[in-house]
Amino acid sequence: MIPTSLEKLLSRRDDLWHHLLERSRFVRGLMAEPFDRRLFGIYLIETYHYVIHNPRHQALVGARSEAMHPNYRKFCFEHAAEETGHELMALHDLHHLGSLQEGSYRLSSALLQTELLNAYLYHVSTTGNPLQRLGYSFWAESAYQYVGNVIARTRQVLELSDAQMTFLVAHASIDEKHAAEVAKTLTSFCTSDDDWHAVAQVMEGSLQLQGNLLDAVWDEFVALRAGEDSRYRYLNVLRPS
């Protein structure tokens, strides 16, 4: 059933996360197989490559020519401003994983799965129902409540401090505030079943693409671990001695 209220959207989000975590190669591998800091490095690189675009396509929603409530347009621009620079947390964590130093390497290009997520978010931000991008924000700003065990496992195995996990730790407290703002925005401006349907569709589509991205990160790590040629070979300085 397609959600037509915040309560139903919450329920659908829970279901989507349950299925993603249950089927994810990334999650299964991380929870059951040996891994090292190269996996976290690949994750941080791809995170940088999509988080840097978040404020840009969020701002594009507010810049659209369609009529929309002034307060929703204001939300789009304010949220874009608050998201600006968050990708630097990912780079900070990358540079504090070990002997990989800023300026000692050339950042690899984004994976296809990362580019597909970015392309989809630019598309939904510039076409269709102007409210629909909230579907992405609705799961992205609340992700940490679903992946706590994954974060804990990463911290334990890699022996990382909070200072080495700023994107997942400090960022989580920022997103808690944003999640409340997104929920309030949804209830304020979604006034029809069509609005809720559009938001739900983007929530489902973007979360599926995020799941594909995480699986690609795991696959890239497995290839790197096996000694195959990789765009991330500069991360081999992080492997255990």
State pLDDT tens for residues 13-65: 999 999 999 999 999 999 999 999 999 999 999 999 999 999 999 999 999 99
Q: What's the pLDDT tens digit per position in 171-196?
A: 666 667 788 999 999 999 999 999 99
* 1 pLDDT higher than 70: no
- CATH number, domain of 28, equals 1.20.910.10
pLDDT in tens, 67-90: 999 999 999 999 999 999 999 999
CA distance 183 to 201: 16
User: Does any domain span residue 1?
Assistant: no
Domain that includes residue 147, residue range: 10-238
Confidence class of residue 241 from pLDDT cuts 50, 70 and 90? low
Q: Is residue 2 part of a domain?
A: no
CB atoms within 10 A of CB 172: 18
d(CA 155, CA 151) in angstroms, rounded, equals: 6
pLDDT for position 11: 95
Looking at the structure of the chain, the number of domains it has is: 1
Q: Is position 5 within any domain? A: no
Check residues 212 and 179 and name the one with the higher pLDDT. 212
Residue 61 forms part of a structural domain: yes
In a domain, 4, yes or no: no
- Total-model pTM: 0.94
Is 128 inside any structural domain? yes
Tell me whether residue 3 is in a domain.
Answer: no
pLDDT digits (tens, 9 = 90+) for 97-144: 988 877 778 999 999 999 999 999 999 999 999 999 999 999 999 998
Q: Would you state the pLDDT for residue 171?
A: 62
Say which range, 162-176, 198-212, 213-227, has the weakest mean pLDDT.
Answer: 162-176
Query: Can you read off the two tokens belonging to residue 229?
Result: 């040629």
Is the per-residue pLDDT at 6 higher than 90? yes
- pLDDT in the model for residue 177: 79
Is the pLDDT at 153 greater than 80? The verdict is: yes
* SS3 call for 68: coil
Q: Is 36 left (phi over 0), alpha (psi -120 to 50) or beta?
A: beta
How far is 137 from 27, CA to CA, in rounded Å?
22
